[in-house]
A = this chain, B = another copy of it.
Amino acid sequence: DTSLVDKSVNTIRFLAIDAVEKANSGHPGLPMGCAPMGHVLYDEVMRYNPKNPYWFNRDRFVLSAGHGCMLHYALLHLAGYDSVKEEDLKQFRQWGSKTPGHPENFETPGIEVTTGPLGQGIANAGIANEACSLAGHWGLGKLIAFYDDNHISIDGDTEIAFTESVDKRFEALGWHIIWVKNGNTGYDEIRAAIQEAKSVTDKPTLIKVTTTIGFGSPNKANSYSVHGAALGAKEVDATRQNLGWPHEPFHVPEDVKKHWSRHTPEGAALEAEWNAKFAAYEKKYAEDAAELKSIADGVLPAGWEKALPTYTPEIPADATRNLSQACLNALAPVLPGLIGGSADLASSNMTLMKMFGDFQKKTPEERNVRFGVREHGMGAICNGIALHSPGFIPYCATFFVFTDYMRGAMRISALSEAGVIYVMTHDSIGLGEDGPTHQPIEHLASFRAMPNILMLRPADGNETAGAYKVAVESRKRPSVLALSRQKLPNLPGTSIKGVAKGGYTISDNSSGNKPDVILIGTGSELEIAEKAADELRKDGKAVRVVSFVSWELFDEQSDDYKESVLPAKVTARVSIEAGTTFGWEKIVGSKGKAIGIDKFGASAPAGKIYKEYGITKEAVIAAANEVC
């Protein structure tokens, strides 16, 4: 019934128009242009259960151009999701609402991922090219991307900066391409395109849909002015007239409501059908089913953490990047959801799980992912995996300094509560000859400062295992592990349990919680602090050495615990870390000393740089003598 479809599409358009108008803020243009494809997708094509937005086998819709989120809210509303009721639409962009200005998965069930900052989406951002290149390489036949080809960018016609051929580029990336010429009213064209896309199972498909931004607005359609601002009362009236929509704001006609209401029983039936299928599968393949279930449910297998290795000081020194690989390989057999890899640095980042092969087009059952040199795409893909199902534990790896290339994705991990594990090796000047472009300085501070992301810098084998324990358990908070290229000794006093506290004493010859001085180190510099303590103790000093492996975790401890590690009265404190001193005043106080590096690194053998930059035992001893 085309007239009902038209009505439904106009309902979507006006829900968006009215919500933006009421908020006097938002983006009406995209929903007005994309309502037809939205309607076809949610009313005719997608399989979902509105009463269980987390049903494992649902089809997943991601609105890459997140600013157009009123399109998605309107669709969820019509489809019967409890998260978006009429009153929620009326609270668009207001404090505490379920309908924020960009879609946030952690606010609104039915939203799969947070997509605010993707700009023009898949068409011309670099990250998208990285991810789409991999999608082509992997032959992801279930992926269908709709490219809203409206020729308008924020600064005007896209021609001012964008004249490449999107079709050709995606063809070069190995995608199947379809062009829907009339996205405004060509429902059958849209339906046919989706059918064709579904029939191509060995390639992802890009459906370019030519639309008019702000379709239906007599004076603002096809112009920038309809992109990011309310239409205004006068133009809303004109649009109502133009599209034959005499209704009050937020009105959903009864027949449209009735038409969409079938999705509640249909969705329940779809899920029931799948559950029955799964039950049969479970009977036949108990072990495989258990594995799948643990991925779907996110319940970690009991006792998994016993697989983590522990170390004693007699065990030879090793780089924490190697100790990290030992953890990954210990966890691989016990965590069915562990999957990941590196951005073309697997042999430097030490991220291969040796019991598995490569995840490739013909071997999708394997778990080592080869991301290529695509850091940003890698982070985004890991976010997608993490948010697909709570039991997936994606990890990804590169040099720590290259977090600069994927920071956008990492911030999205933090914001959208995706428990990705970032395995970041070569974490300081300790990498040596590759020089300042490869040597992180400000990176530790920059992730400590970022909300809801854990920065962990383990010092040896036990601490690396402890960092993995924290990271695996943190399913709603991503973790960044900073790991060394160079060998580090296994220190007495380190422990998996200590790491969980963020900061803890690894050695102490004082009594009554009154050391003369507290030396604080992280990662590769904890060894230096310990060596300095040895010498200071020989000089009769009472010295405590504290490993400060994660600031965030320490902050979360009780005041009593914090006082037991860093007593307020002991102001003689020295920290050492091969990174910026920025932020360390909080820990060492105004009477303490922070030893670090507040300039860029250098190209030379690592030992030489440590010496020239004053990251030495001697510097710690001198500072300790100065403060106490």
Interfacial residues, chain A to chain B (CB-CB below 8 A): 23, 25-26, 66-67, 93-97, 100-102, 104, 114-117, 119-120, 124-130, 133-134, 136-137, 153-155, 158, 160-169, 171-174, 224, 342, 344-348, 358, 360, 370-374, 376-377, 401-402, 404-405, 407-408, 411-412, 414-415, 432-438, 441-442, 445-446, 448-452, 580, 582-583, 585-586, 589-590, 598-600, 602-605, 608-609, 612
Contacts and interface: CB of A to CB of B under 8 A. Distances in A.
A166 to B, nearest CB: 8
Given A119-B344, A446-B450, 6 more contacts: A26-B433, A104-B436, A126-B129, A163-B174, A404-B411, A442-B449
Contacts of A100: 435-436, 602-603
A347 B154 contact: yes
10 contacts: A100-B603, A104-B435, A125-B373, A154-B347, A155-B342, A164-B172, A167-B172, A414-B600, A446-B446, A582-B586
B95 A612 contact: yes
A114 to B, nearest CB: 6
A432 B102 CA distance: 12
Nearest to A134: B161
A345 B433 contact: no
A136 B161 contact: no
B126 A126 contact: yes
Contacts of A125: 126, 130, 373-374, 405
Given A160-B358, A433-B23, A445 B133 contact: no
Contact of A154 (B168, B173, B345, B446): B345
Contacts of A602: 95, 100
A627 to B, nearest CB: 14
Nearest to A139: B163
Given A404-B407, A435-B101, A600 B452 contact: yes
A415 B600 contact: yes
Contacts of A166: 172
B155 A344 contact: yes
A627 B120 CA distance: 48
Contacts of A67: 434
B373 A124 contact: yes
A262 to B, nearest CB: 32
A477 B60 CA distance: 46
Contact of A102 (B224, B435, B580): B435
A581 to B, nearest CB: 9
A571 to B, nearest CB: 9
Contact of A136 (B164, B402, B441): B164
A583 B444 CA distance: 13
Given A129-B129, A133-B164, A101 B450 contact: no
B372 A124 contact: yes
A357 to B, nearest CB: 11
Given A452-B599, A602-B100, A124 B133 contact: yes
Contact of A434 (B116, B442, B603, B604): B116
A345 B375 CA distance: 25
B445 A153 contact: no
A433 B161 contact: no
A435 B163 CA distance: 31
Nearest to A100: B603
A227 to B, nearest CB: 10
A311 to B, nearest CB: 28
Nearest to A580: B449
Given A104-B435, A415-B600, A608 B376 contact: no
Given A161-B371, A172-B164, A449-B446, A117 B344 contact: no
Given A133-B124, A404-B407, A433-B101, A347 B117 contact: no
Contact of A25 (B347, B370, B432): B432
A342 B434 CA distance: 33
A518 to B, nearest CB: 15
A241 to B, nearest CB: 28
A445 B172 contact: no
Contacts of A95: 602, 604-605, 608-609, 612
